[in-house]
Structure 1
C-alpha cells in the first residue's frame, strides 16, 4: 500500500509540474487577451497602436537551443505590437489585440500587423471607436489614409524631416521643422499638405513641446482641433496606457514618452 501511495503522489507531482509549465508557457499569449466582457466601450473610444519589447518566458531554453547560451541575446526578445482601447469617459484602457513580430516566419512587417489589427477593430462592433493614435513610425501615408477612409480621426507624431507644403514662401515643400509657426499657429495648428498625399487630403500640423523639452510635430485629419487637444491626446495617453494595471507591460522611466 505504501508503494502505491508513493507512486500516486509522484504521478500527481508530475501533473502539478506540467500544469505549472503550461501556465508559464501560455502566459505571454493569455496576458495580452483583452477582457472585453468586463470592460465597457464607448462610441468615442480611442485606439492606440504601441510597441512593447519583452523577454520570452522560455529565454534560457531558447538560448540553449540556439547554442549561444546568451539569455540576454536580442533573439530572445519579443516585439509585441499592441492595439490598446481607451474609454475616454471611464478612463479605463485594455489591450484589445496584439501581434508578435515574427517577419522571418510569417513575412509580415510591423505596418502589416497594424493594418490587420485596424481592420479587425473596425469589424468588431462591440468596441466602437472614433480616434486612432499611433507612434511616429506607424505614421505612413497608407495607414493614415486608410484610417481616414474608415471615417476615423488619426493623430500621430511625424518625423521632423517629413516634407510639407504650408503655402508660405517660394519653396513648395520643406521639412516640418522648417515650417514657420507664428503665435496663432502655435495655438491653433497649421493646415499643410504632406508630400505624396492626395491634394484633397490636407492635414493639420501642430508643434508641441514634449515632457523632455524637445519639439514634436503632430499631424491629424481633424482640421478644426487646436494645440490643446493635440497636447492632451499625445501627452495624456502615455500615462493612461503605461500605468494601467490591465496592460501587463514593463514599467518605463517617468521621462519616457509613449511615442
Structure 2
C-alpha cells in the first residue's frame, strides 16, 4: 500500500488554493485516505533544520548580508485546543488573539535585493521553557558557530531590543540596527543628567543627520550605542546601532528598510501556503504542517526567481489556465441572465 510522504503533503499545499484541510486533501486524492494522511503527519518528524537543508544550495551569501528576526502569529481565534495556540499580541490584528507564535529568521542579500527564509522556531514556552528572545539567540548561535553563514548585520524590531540580545550580537562581532521603544530610558549627557525617555531627547541639526551617542539604562558602564531619529511620513523611529562609525541617517533608513522583507515573507506564507489554515490539533502534526508550508514557500520563491515572476503568479498560473478553459468550454454553462 502506498503511503503519503513529505513530498506528497507539500504538493497538496502547493496545489490547493483555499481549503488546506486533510479532509479536502483526501476528498481529492485517489491514493490516500484521510486516516493515512493523518497517520503520516502524526508520525513523521520535520524539524526546522530541513528548511536550511532545502535553501542552502540556493542561498547567495555575502559578507555584507543582513539577518532579520521577527515573529508572526498564526491566527487561531476560531479554533479550540490546537497545540501551541495561546493568547499573544498580533501586530497584524493590532490586539491580543489566540494564535501560534512562529519566530522567523530571514537572510537578505542587499546587493541582489533578494531574501531567503533560513530558520524558524515555534514559540512554546510551556513546553520548552524558551522565550522568543531565547529562540533568536539560539538561531544566531547556530548561524554563526555551526553553519558559518556570512553576514555583517542583524535587524530586528523593538520587541527584540533587549540588553542581553544586543550584547550577544556584539559578542559575535556583528552589528545590529533596531528601533527602541519610545519610553526606553537613555542618557546622552555622560552621566550629568538623569536617564530620560528616548522620545524626550533634544536633537541638534547635526545630530538629526548624524545621530548621537547614548547610554541605554542598565547597560554596562561606559557602553554606548548610537541612536538615530528616523522620521517618515507616518512615524518617528529611534534606531539604535552598535556601529559607532555610522553617521548618515539616510543610510540608517536604507538599512532598516530591509526589515520589510520579513514582513513580506510572513504575508506570502499566509496567503500562498496555508501555513495558518491547518485544523489539526496534535503538536507533531502542527509542527510538520508549518515546516511543509515553509518548504512550499521556498519552492515558490525558487520558481519565481527562475521565471522572473511573482510568487503569486507562480501559485495562481495553473488556475488561470483552468479559467481560460472554462470560459472557452464551461462545465457549468450559464443559461439565465
Q: Greater RCO between the two (CA within 8 Å, min separation 6)?
A: 2
What SS class does the counterpart of residue 99 from structure 1 fall into? strand
Q: Distance in 2 between matches of 1:169 and 1:201?
A: 12
Q: Distance in 1 between matches of 2:106 and 2:139?
A: 10
Report the equivalent of 1:137. 159
**Count, aligned residues:** 227
For 2:139, which of 95, 99, 117 is the aligned residue? 117
Shift of residue 177, structure 1, vs aligned partner = 0.9
Shift of residue 163, structure 1, vs aligned partner = 1.2
Structure 1: segments with no counterpart, 5+ residues: 1-11, 67-72, 252-259
Q: Distance in 1 between matches of 2:129 and 2:164?
A: 19
For 2:121, which of 86, 99, 121 is the aligned residue? 99
Q: Distance in 2 between matches of 1:23 and 1:224?
A: 54
Report the equivalent of 2:223. 201
Report the equivalent of 2:289. none
Q: TM-score, normalised by structure 2?
A: 0.59
Q: Distance in 2 between matches of 1:183 and 1:117?
A: 39
Report the equivalent of 2:67. 47
Shift of residue 141, structure 1, vs aligned partner = 0.7
Q: Distance in 1 between matches of 2:238 and 2:138?
A: 26
Structure 2: segments with no counterpart, 5+ residues: 1-28, 86-95, 273-337
Q: Distance in 2 between matches of 1:114 and 1:245?
A: 17
Q: TM-score, normalised by structure 1?
A: 0.75
Q: Distance in 1 between matches of 2:72 and 2:107?
A: 15
Equivalent residue runs for 1:1-259 within 5 Å? 13=30, 15=32, 17=34, 21=38, 33-34=51-52, 35-55=55-75, 62=81, 74-75=97-98, 77-167=99-189, 171-211=193-233, 213-225=234-246, 226-238=248-260, 240-243=261-264, 248-249=269-270
The runs of at least 4 aligned residues of structure 1 exceeding 6 Å deviation read 22-26
Counterpart contact for 1:134–1:156, Cα < 8 Å: yes
